[in-house]
């Protein structure tokens, strides 16, 4: 893994015995993944052939390793692996054999060797409440991130924790968790949100970086538009049911069996931007909505605190029924008070009435 | 001697705001539809005559005295106050250009009874001294002399004597225990004595016991027109006293619009107790007599006739079908105006407007609507049931150089009674 | 950092609670304010009853009298267009019904989205026509004060933001949704203290009108 | 391994029953349109099926509709790829799989011959060299 020999991706592939048709096939798949039009395949092929081998450092903070799982599980040797074979993953404390000081030494070596050029991938959020909440080799997450980010070309925040603070940040956020973007402000940060994120997204980002030497176009949340450009709702195959007003009301009713829209069961598809509906999960087998469960909105900021998972999106976060009941009680009390004041004003006016006679008709001048 | 002041006016406005008024003001969304129901707007095209706008002074008092936001606005000085200048400016709108016809109240999409509010707003105008001089003078005559036109019982007695001599009929005066006590409007005494003769003819024909009351013959009530319940109460009380003294069972309102409103609807509320007698409009009585067969008519006229509904009797009084049945009885060629019954257009002289010379030019201008309505029917004769409407229409037609005879429905019925019973 | 999502959560949380509370309390205060002013007893012998004619007028005033329609077609058409558009969008859009179900414990069937969408467009067109009418019709122009324009804006914004959010014409979606909810909260907060109250008081007003006519034997 | 057969779903979907969604139908129209373009102007079109939100059954419906024609090819490079002409000449289905058999791209190409099947010029050059070398070797062997 610490092989720092330079070379292009084309070299790597050919060394691995990849034919030109194989390479074209690979480029076709990559273009498809990056949502590039098929006409871009030759451009992609030419660029990838000459792509340089980048160094990657992967840091994990307050996280559950789900992101790493998502990325590495069952995907060897795959498209991702081709890319990953090409990159130099110089530090990943979950995956690497080395540990402790040896591992940290590897990280520092990579940082020095490729200063200003390496990509930094981060999963997990950073606790600001107390540096001791999460440390590696006795060094706080914050310190490691600041040090490592300083020499990075760009930072990829992998997963909703790194991108938005995620689960650790859920109310009341006991560790004072923050996202990478809250710490790293002077470098490009690409958020690859999701809990976990779709693995090909990171491959796509790397492919883009390798191909064009730049970062892909990003949305408002610094997420690659190619994957996060459309909402789950807009790409959902159940969308026609939403439009027709056909909804599942429970998880076992006729509507659910017929595959109707899950909006009423709390699907957060309309406000969630991700590529699940087309890329799907588990080797393209299925995805949450297809398997009968609404989208949780895991690629959106604060999804954990955005009201009940099983409440329709239009339902407010709080207990609106209770609020309304209290308000009715308060309204009746205040209304009675207002009524009392009005009656007093009116009674007083009646009391002050002085009878009008024909002698009073002219105005006092 | 007390005088009208702004303070008294504001207090009167405060008194006049009740739940309906508050509900009405809360509901207005300034859609302007009421303007289309008001002949003062349709005939002039001047938006200042939009009915709901005429209530601005009362609206301000409501908002500033009876709503939370209005009170807050007043505290921080954001509320536009009701001033003497405002009331002066609004006098024209609340008096000269409103006949209390109530047509706007019928079209308001949110259901605002605008005429109801104008009637109430006038209380504040009177108390603050912003009522028309002419109507003030009429009120004074009504209270001091007994009639807004200044006539006294002496004048009526002379007319009665004259009619009795001419017709050979008897007109009972102050007969205790009679069943029916008809009231008269002073216009009938002076301009249309035929009405008194017709009454005598009808009561005699039907064989009913009736009497006029020398102390309470005047039905008109300037207090209602100017908008002072205190004055109106005094005038209603005279009628109640007279009726109670003679122990009559029925008081019959004459062919006069606002008189019906005052004695039939506002009267009991003004004196604070239900009447010990029943109040009927003369047309209601005639229709009852027709239905029970007590009066019989003959030789229905073939002239093309149309009927003008006096607003206070029709739209605001519910006497709508009776005149139609009576017209059918005596006329075989009856034709309706396009908007009739509860949708009738006002003659333009109700609600004290005809007594107000300052309003004359405007009144004649807006009469165009009635003139057109009448002309569209192609009628040879106009029948109505209000002496005031009759005078206003006569004047209006003259202004527009239209020749058309006008008759009261009571007279028309009386003329067709079967002679020898 | 996550401004739009924080904003959405705020509008769906605290702000919504506050708005609903002000709305409910405000409406009750207003209704109490009105009804407490009372109505003098009617001592004149009635020609008809009050209750049923009042109820009837509540219904009949929904339709314009023929002559009025001929003279003010735009006022009436724009009024219908926007009221129907607004009510259909508000009451028959499934996400809204879910909100009512959550609040009141019961819901009702909704309409397919394209129909609601069309209704919203009609509502928007109706409101624009109503504004144009207000600015050009001499009567409405004279009658209208700042409040009339304020309530127009308050009514227009939810329809507009709802339409934009549904069609994803504002990005990101949480911002669109947040703006939509905020516009409704604005409406809710100012509702009890503006002419928007007519939504509730018109029932009182129409009833009083019908009842007062009814006792005089007139259908109003 | 995952093949073109239907995957198990929590509810039943059949190609004949109307499940209410048919993203395959508009796609078939698009294919027909592209085929017309190919005939008139010779324009080739590539449709990336993985960018289309298929519901359960959609893919099967599409493939059933397209059917199988007379040409079928298998490419063995970085895993197997299957390329076949549908029952409608000019409409090709291309399915790329990696060495684990996982699908990495799925396309419909409307063309006379899918470009991936064409031999690259560089490969021809290299092949020619290799062939010449082989021939030279043969001759050397003979001469010996």
Closest by Cα among D50, B261, B123, D11 to A254 = D11
Residue A346, domain member (yes or no):
no
Q: Write the residue in B2, B11, B84 that is nearest to A360 by C-beta.
A: B2
Q: Which DSSP symbol is given to A258?
A: T
Residue A365, domain member (yes or no):
no
Closest by Cα among B248, B259, B161 to B213 = B248
Distance from CA of D99 to the nearest CA of A (A): 7
CATH of the domain at A89: 3.40.50.700
Parent domain of A95 = 9-228
> Does the pLDDT of residue B81 top 60, yes or no?
yes
> Does the pLDDT of residue C65 top 50, yes or no?
yes
Q: Does A240 touch chain C (CB under 8 A)?
A: no
| CA separation for the pair B339, C31 (Å, rounded) | 37
pLDDT, tens digit (0-9, with 9 covering 90-100), for A143-167: 999 999 999 999 999 999 999 999 9
Residue A154, domain member (yes or no):
yes
Domain boundaries, chain D: 1-113, 118-144
Instruction: Report CA Rg, chain A.
Output: 30
Mean pLDDT over the full length of chain A: 85
Residue A352, domain member (yes or no):
no
Residue D79: closest C-alpha in chain A: A22
> Does the pLDDT of residue A79 top 70, yes or no?
no
Whether residues B158 and B28 share a domain: the answer is no
Whether residues A18 and A98 share a domain: the answer is yes
Residues A81-84: contacts with CB under 8 Å, at least 24 apart:
A82/A13, A82/A26, A82/D78, A83/A203, A83/A206, A83/A207, A83/A210, A84/A203
Q: Write the residue in A342, A353, A362 that is nearest to B11 by C-beta.
A: A353
pLDDT, tens digit (0-9, with 9 covering 90-100), for B163-181: 999 999 999 999 999 999 9
Whether residues B270 and B315 share a domain: the answer is no
Whether residues A249 and A182 share a domain: the answer is no
Cβ of C4 and A220 within 8 Å?
yes
> Does the pLDDT of residue A31 top 50, yes or no?
yes
Closest by Cα among B286, B84, B328, B38 to B182 = B286
Whether residues A213 and A265 share a domain: the answer is no
Whether residues A178 and A66 share a domain: the answer is yes
What is the model's pLDDT at position A73? 60
Which chain C residues have a beta carbon less than 8 Å from that of B105? 209, 220
Q: Which residues contact A257 (CB under 8 A, 6 or more apart)?
A: D11
> Does the pLDDT of residue B256 top 70, yes or no?
yes
- Angstrom distances, CA of residue A124 to CA of A57, A130, A179, A193, C65: 14, 16, 8, 11, 68
Whether residues A125 and A260 share a domain: the answer is no
Please give the residue that has the higher pLDDT: either C2 or B343.
B343
Distance from CA of A333 to the nearest CA of B (A): 15
Residue B277, domain member (yes or no):
yes
Q: Which DSSP symbol is given to C145?
A: -
What is the model's pLDDT at position D20? 53
Whether residues B160 and B251 share a domain: the answer is yes
Whether residues B89 and B145 share a domain: the answer is no
Q: Region B204-211: what's the mean pLDDT?
A: 95
> Does the pLDDT of residue D17 top 60, yes or no?
no
Confidence of residue C77 (pLDDT cuts 50, 70, 90): very high
Reduced to 3 states, what is the DSSP secondary structure of residue A231?
strand
| CA separation for the pair B39, B343 (Å, rounded) | 12
Work out the burial of residue D141: count CB atoms within 10 Å of its CB; fewer than 13 is exposed, 13-18 middle, 19 or more buried: exposed
Whether residues A66 and A202 share a domain: the answer is yes
CATH of the domain at B332: 3.40.50
Mean pLDDT over the full length of chain C: 93
Which chain C residues have a beta carbon less than 8 Å from that of A328? 24, 28
Whether residues B307 and B273 share a domain: the answer is no
Residue B1, domain member (yes or no):
no
What is the model's pLDDT at position A176? 95
Cβ of B231 and A364 within 8 Å?
no
Of A12-16, A178-182, A326-330, give the lowest mean pLDDT range: A12-16
| C220 close to B316: Cβ distance less than 8 angstroms | no
Residue A365: closest C-alpha in chain B: B5
Whether residues B176 and B223 share a domain: the answer is yes
Q: Does B191 touch chain A (CB under 8 A)?
A: no
Whether residues A201 and A132 share a domain: the answer is yes
CATH of the domain at B12: 1.10.1060
Boundary-marking domain end, from A163, A193, A228: A228
What is the model's pLDDT at position A97? 67
Mean pLDDT over the full length of chain D: 82
Looking at the structure of chain A, the number of domains it has is 2
| A249 close to A266: Cβ distance less than 8 angstroms | no
> Does the pLDDT of residue B160 top 60, yes or no?
yes
- In DSSP terms, D76 is beta-bridged to D80
Residue B136, domain member (yes or no):
no
Q: Write the residue in A221, A271, A342 that is nearest to C33 by C-beta.
A: A342
Whether residues A158 and A266 share a domain: the answer is no
What is the model's pLDDT at position A286? 87
Residue B241, domain member (yes or no):
yes
Residue B339, domain member (yes or no):
yes
Whether residues A172 and A67 share a domain: the answer is yes
| CA separation for the pair A221, A301 (Å, rounded) | 9
CATH of the domain at A329: 4.10.480.10
- The token pair at B283 is 């047309």
Residue C8: closest C-alpha in chain A: A306
**∠ CA(B202), CA(B203), CA(B209), 5° rounding?**
175
Q: Sign of the CA dihedral B313, B318, B322, B324? A: positive
Looking at the structure of chain B, the number of domains it has is 3
Residue A363, domain member (yes or no):
no
Q: Region A207-225: what's the mean pLDDT?
A: 85
Cβ of A317 and C16 within 8 Å?
yes
Confidence of residue D19 (pLDDT cuts 50, 70, 90): low
Considering the domain D1-113 in this protein, what is its CATH number? 3.30.1370.140
Distance from CA of B49 to the nearest CA of C (A): 9
Residue B420, domain member (yes or no):
no
Whether residues A90 and A218 share a domain: the answer is yes
pLDDT, tens digit (0-9, with 9 covering 90-100), for C109-146: 999 999 999 999 999 999 999 999 999 999 999 999 99
pLDDT, tens digit (0-9, with 9 covering 90-100), for B323-342: 999 999 999 999 999 999 99
Q: Which of C1, C14, C165, C182 to mutate: most A Cβ within 10 Å?
A: C1
Residue A353, domain member (yes or no):
no
Q: Which DSSP symbol is given to C193?
A: G
Residue A344, domain member (yes or no):
no
Residue A342, domain member (yes or no):
no
| CA separation for the pair A64, A177 (Å, rounded) | 14
A-proximal residues of C, 158-197, CB under 8 Å: 168, 171-174, 177
> Does the pLDDT of residue A13 top 90, yes or no?
no
pTM of the complete model: 0.85
- The token pair at A330 is 């308060």
- In DSSP terms, A152 is beta-bridged to A118
Cβ of B111 and C145 within 8 Å?
no
Whether residues B33 and B124 share a domain: the answer is yes
Mean pLDDT over the full length of chain B: 95
Parent domain of B217 = 141-289
Q: Which of D12, D13, D18, D20 to mutate: most A Cβ within 10 Å?
A: D20
Whether residues A100 and A214 share a domain: the answer is yes
pLDDT, tens digit (0-9, with 9 covering 90-100), for B40-67: 999 999 999 999 999 999 999 999 999 9
> Does the pLDDT of residue A132 top 70, yes or no?
yes
For chain C, give the longest Cα–Cα distance: 72
Q: Which of A331, A350, A362, A363 to mutate: most B Cβ within 10 Å?
A: A363
Whether residues A210 and A313 share a domain: the answer is no
Whether residues B114 and B192 share a domain: the answer is no
Residue C180: closest C-alpha in chain A: A314
What is the model's pLDDT at position D104? 82
Distance from CA of D29 to the nearest CA of A (A): 18
Neighbours of B16 (CB within 10 A): 23
What is the model's pLDDT at position B420? 60
Boundary-marking domain end, from B289, B310, B339: B289
């Amino acid at each position: 893994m610490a092989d720092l020999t330079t070379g292009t991706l084309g070299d790597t592939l050919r060394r691995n015995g990849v034919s030109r048709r194989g390479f074209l096939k690979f480029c076709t798949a990559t273009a498809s993944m990056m949502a590039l039009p098929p006409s871009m395949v030759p451009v992609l092929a030419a660029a990838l052939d000459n792509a340089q081998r980048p160094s990657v450092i992967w840091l994990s903070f307050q996280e559950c390793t789900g992101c790493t799982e998502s990325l590495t599980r069952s995907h060897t040797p795959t498209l991702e692996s081709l890319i990953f074979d090409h990159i130099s993953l110089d530090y990943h404390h979950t995956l690497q054999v080395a540990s402790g000081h040896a591992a940290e030494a590897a990280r520092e070596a990579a940082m020095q060797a490729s200063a200003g050029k390496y990509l930094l991938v981060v999963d997990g959020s950073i606790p600001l409440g107390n540096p001791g909440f999460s440390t590696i080799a006795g060094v706080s997450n914050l310190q490691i991130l600041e040090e490592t980010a300083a020499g990075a070309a760009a930072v990829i925040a992998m997963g909703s924790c790194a991108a938005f603070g995620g689960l650790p940040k859920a109310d009341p956020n006991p560790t004072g968790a923050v996202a990478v973007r809250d710490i790293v402000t002077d470098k490009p940060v690409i958020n690859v949100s999701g809990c976990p994120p779709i693995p090909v997204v990171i491959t796509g980002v790397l492919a883009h970086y390798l191909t064009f030497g730049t970062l892909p176009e990003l949305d408002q949340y610094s997420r690659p538009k190619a994957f996060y450009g459309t909402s789950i709702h807009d790409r959902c195959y159940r969308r026609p049911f939403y439009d027709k007003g056909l909804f599942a009301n429970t998880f076992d009713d006729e509507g659910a069996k017929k595959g109707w829209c899950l909006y009423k069961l709390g699907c957060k598809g309309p406000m969630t931007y991700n590529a699940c509906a087309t890329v799907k999960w588990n080797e393209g087998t299925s995805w949450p909505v297809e398997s009968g469960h609404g989208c949780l909105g895991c690629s959106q900021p604060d999804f954990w605190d955005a009201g009940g998972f099983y409440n329709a999106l239009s339902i407010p976060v709080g207990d609106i029924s209770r609020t309304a009941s209290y308000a009715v009680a308060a309204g009746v009390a205040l209304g009675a008070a207002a009524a009392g004041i009005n009656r007093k004003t009116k009674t007083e006016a009646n009391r002050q009435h002085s009878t009008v006679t024909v002698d009073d008709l002219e105005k006092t001048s | 001697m007390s005088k009208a002041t702004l303070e008294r006016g504001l207090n009167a406005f405060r008194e006049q705001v009740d739940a309906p008024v508050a509900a009405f003001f809360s509901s207005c969304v300034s859609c302007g539809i009421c303007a289309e129901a008001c002949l003062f707007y349709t005939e002039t095209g001047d938006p200042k005559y939009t009915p709901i706008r005429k209530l601005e002074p009362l609206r301000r008092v409501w908002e500033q005295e009876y709503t939370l936001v209005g009170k807050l606005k007043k505290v921080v000085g954001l509320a536009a106050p009701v001033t003497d200048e405002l009331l002066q400016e609004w006098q024209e709108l609340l008096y000269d250009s409103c006949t209390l016809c109530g047509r706007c109240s019928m079209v308001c999409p949110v259901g605002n009874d605008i005429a109801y509010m104008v009637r109430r707003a006038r209380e504040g105008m009177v108390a603050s001294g912003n009522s028309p001089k002419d109507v003030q003078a009429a009120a004074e005559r009504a209270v001091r002399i007994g009639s807004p036109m200044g006539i006294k019982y002496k004048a009526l007695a002379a007319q009665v004597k004259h009619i009795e001599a001419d017709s050979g009929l008897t007109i009972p005066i102050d007969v205790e225990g009679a069943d029916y006590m008809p009231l008269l409007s002073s216009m009938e005494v002076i301009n249309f004595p035929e009405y008194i003769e017709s009454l005598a003819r009808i009561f005699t024909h039907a064989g009913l016991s009736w009497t006029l009351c020398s102390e309470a013959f005047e039905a008109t009530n300037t207090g209602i027109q100017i908008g002072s319940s205190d004055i109106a109460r005094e005038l209603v009380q005279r009628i109640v006293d007279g009726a109670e003294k003679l122990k009559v069972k029925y008081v019959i309102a004459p062919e006069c619009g606002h008189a019906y409103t005052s004695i039939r609807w506002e009267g009991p509320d003004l004196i604070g107790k239900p009447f010990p007698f029943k109040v009927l409009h003369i047309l209601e009585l005639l229709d009852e007599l027709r239905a029970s067969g007590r009066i019989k008519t003959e030789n229905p006229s073939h002239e093309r006739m149309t009927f003008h509904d006096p607003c206070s009797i029709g739209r605001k009084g519910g006497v709508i079908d009776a005149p139609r049945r009576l017209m059918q009885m005596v006329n075989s060629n009856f034709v309706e105006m396009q908007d009739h019954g509860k949708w009738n257009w006002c003659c333009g002289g109700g609600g004290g407007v005809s007594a107000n010379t300052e309003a004359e030019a405007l009144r004649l201008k807006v009469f165009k609507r009635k003139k057109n309505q009448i002309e569209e029917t192609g009628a040879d004769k106009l029948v109505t049931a209000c002496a005031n409407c009759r005078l206003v229409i006569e004047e209006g037609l003259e202004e527009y150089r239209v020749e058309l005879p006008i008759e009261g429905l009571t007279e028309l019925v009386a003329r067709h009674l079967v002679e020898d019973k | 950092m996550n401004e739009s999502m924080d904003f959405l959560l705020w509008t769906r949380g605290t702000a919504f609670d506050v708005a609903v509370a002000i709305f409910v309390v405000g409406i009750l205060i207003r209704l109490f304010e009105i009804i407490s002013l009372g109505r003098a007893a009617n001592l004149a012998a009635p020609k008809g009853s009050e209750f049923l004619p009042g109820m009837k007028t509540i219904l009949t005033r929904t339709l314009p009298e023929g002559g009025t329609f001929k003279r003010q077609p735009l006022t009436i058409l724009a009024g219908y267009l926007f009221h129907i558009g607004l009510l259909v969008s508000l009451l028959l859009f499934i996400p809204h019904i879910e909100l009512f179900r959550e609040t009141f414990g019961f819901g009702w069937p909704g309409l397919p989205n394209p129909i609601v969408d069309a209704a919203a467009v009609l509502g928007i067109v109706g409101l624009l026509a109503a504004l144009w009418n207000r600015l050009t019709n001499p009567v409405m122009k004279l009658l209208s004060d700042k409040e009339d324009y304020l309530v127009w804006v308050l009514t227009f914004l939810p329809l507009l933001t709802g339409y934009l959010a549904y069609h994803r014409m504002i990005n990101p979606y949480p911002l669109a949704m947040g703006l939509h909810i905020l516009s409704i909260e604005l409406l809710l907060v100012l509702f009890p203290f503006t002419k928007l109250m007519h939504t509730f008081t018109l029932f009182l007003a129409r009833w009083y009108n019908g009842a007062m006519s009814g006792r005089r034997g007139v259908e109003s | 391994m995952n093949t073109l057969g239907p995957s198990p779903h929590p509810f039943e979907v059949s190609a004949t029953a109307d499940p209410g969604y048919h993203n395959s139908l508009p796609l078939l129209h698009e294919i027909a349109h592209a085929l017309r373009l190919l005939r008139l102007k010779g324009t080739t079109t590539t449709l990336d099926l993985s960018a289309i939100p298929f519901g359960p059954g959609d893919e099967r419906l599409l493939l059933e509709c397209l059917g199988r024609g007379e040409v079928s090819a298998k490419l063995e490079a970085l895993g197997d790829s299957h390329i076949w002409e549908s029952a409608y000449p000019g409409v090709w289905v291309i399915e790329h799989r990696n060495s684990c058999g996982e699908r990495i791209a799925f396309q419909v190409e409307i063309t006379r011959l899918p470009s991936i099947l064409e031999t690259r010029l560089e490969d021809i050059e290299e092949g020619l060299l290799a062939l010449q070398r082989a021939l030279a070797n043969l001759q050397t062997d003979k001469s010996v």
